[in-house]
Amino acid sequence: MTIFIIQILNSLFYAAVLFLIAAGLSLIYGVMRIVNLAHGSLYALGAYVSAWVVGGAVGHAASGALGLAGLLLLLPIGAVAIAAVGAAIEPTLLRPLYRRPEEYHLLITFGLLMILEDAMKFLFGGTPLSAGSIMDGMGSLPIGRLLYPTYNLVVVAIGLIAALGLWWFIYRTKFGIILRATSQDRRMAAALGLNVGRVYVQAFAIGCFMAGLGGAVVVPAQAAVLGMGIDALVLAFVVVVIGGLGSLEGALVGALIVSFVRTAGIQFFPEIELAVLYLIATAVLLIRPTGLFGRA
């Protein structure tokens, strides 16, 4: 029973991280119709930046001067940094390509992926970088006869807050209306006087922020390593394909499905755990091409 509860908590933790990545990917596709192959690398970059900042703070400040709360507040720096990177990428690399076929979107983001992967190797080196002091500092909770890290529950909470916040942002604010209008009909939105170029920068930056936030929250629990972004991207793809590209609810449900299937897979059928996920995505694409929550 205890194991069962812990597995559910693990799935929720994993779902929260996946949701953050996939929601960003989905948002960017929904508004800009761009599938960003570099999205996973941006997630990885977020993880590296956060780990580097937290690690630097722990190393330099007098012991305990910052405290746990201080370190936690440092964590989102990774997300903000990635949002800035995104705001720089959109006008320089993506904007010239909107009129071209989408093959070129995939190609340029693939080029970006290659650049980002090596940039991380250059900046942070080959050794894994972790912000484990946060996780250690938070201690653990007793669940049955076992101990469970409190930090994982914090991540689940962050995932929930992010989902609610994003929902509120998109469906309850003026900017959300502008975002949805641009997503539905770019030309009409422009004709009504919206600055579509600015909306695109903002949407891309928000999507990148989500990816960076995913990296930032995961790094106290799992060290940032090279190649983590490439793995994460394909899983995020599976999530958005199941849920529907461009759909926020879809990203949430997809993340839950993927993480529960994966946890069950690791427990019961470890050899085909990943294959099953890809096959689920394929099946969804065949039966409902727009995903569970997607619109045509």
Partner 1 sequence: MTATTTTTTAADAGMASFLRLLVVAMAILFGLALLPAVVDPYQTVLITYGLIMAIAALGFNLLLGYTGLLSFGHSAYFGTGAYTVAFIVRDLGAQSMELCIIGGLAGTVLVSALFGFVCVRHTRIFFGILTLALSQVLWSLAFKFFWVTGGTDGIRVAYAKLTLLGGLVDFAGPGSFQRFIFAYYYYVLGLFTLATVIMWVIVHSPFGMALQAIRDNETRASFVGISVRRYRWIAFVISGAFTGLAGILWVPLNGLTTPDVLYWPFSGEIVFMSVLGGFRTFVGPIVGAVAFNYLKTAAVASTEYWQLLLGVVLVTLVLVLPSGIVGTAARLVSRFTR
Binding footprint of partner 1 on the chain (CB under 8 A): 35, 37, 93, 96-97, 100, 102-104, 106-108, 110-119, 121-122, 230, 234, 237-238, 241, 245, 270-275, 278-279, 281-282, 285-286, 289
Instruction: Report in angstroms how near the CB of residue 272 gets to partner 1 at its nearest.
Output: 7
Residue number with CB closer to partner 1 (53 or 112): 112
Instruction: Report in angstroms how near the CB of residue 123 gets to partner 1 at its nearest.
Output: 11
Query: Smallest Cα–Cα separation from 253: which of 30, 29, 15, 26?
Result: 15
Fill in the amino acid letter for 65. A
Instruction: Report in angstroms how near the CB of residue 231 gets to partner 1 at its nearest.
Output: 10
**Crossing angle for the helix pair 77-89 and 39-60, to the nearest 10 degrees:** 140
Instruction: Report in angstroms how near the CB of residue 180 gets to partner 1 at its nearest.
Output: 20
Instruction: Report in angstroms how near the CB of residue 52 gets to partner 1 at its nearest.
Output: 19
- Geometric angle at alpha carbon 27, from 26 and 28, rounded to 5°: 90
Residue number with CB closer to partner 1 (245 or 255): 245
Instruction: Report in angstroms how near the CB of residue 43 gets to partner 1 at its nearest.
Output: 16
Instruction: Report in angstroms how near the CB of residue 275 gets to partner 1 at its nearest.
Output: 5
By the 8 A CB rule, do 210 and 20 touch?
yes
By the 8 A CB rule, do 255 and 6 touch?
no
Residue number with CB closer to partner 1 (192 or 279): 279
Residue number with CB closer to partner 1 (181 or 226): 226
Residue number with CB closer to partner 1 (128 or 176): 128
Helix (H, G, I), strand (E, B) or coil at 186: helix
Residue number with CB closer to partner 1 (57 or 281): 281
Residue number with CB closer to partner 1 (6 or 264): 264
Q: Which two tokens stand for residue 60?
A: 């330099």
Bridge partners of 261, per DSSP, are none
Give per-residue burial for 86-124: e unless 16+ CB within 10 Å, then b.
bbebbeeebeeebeeeeeebeebbeebbeebbeebeeeb
Q: What is the DSSP letter of 61?
A: S
Query: Smallest Cα–Cα separation from 153: which of 141, 165, 167, 166?
Result: 141
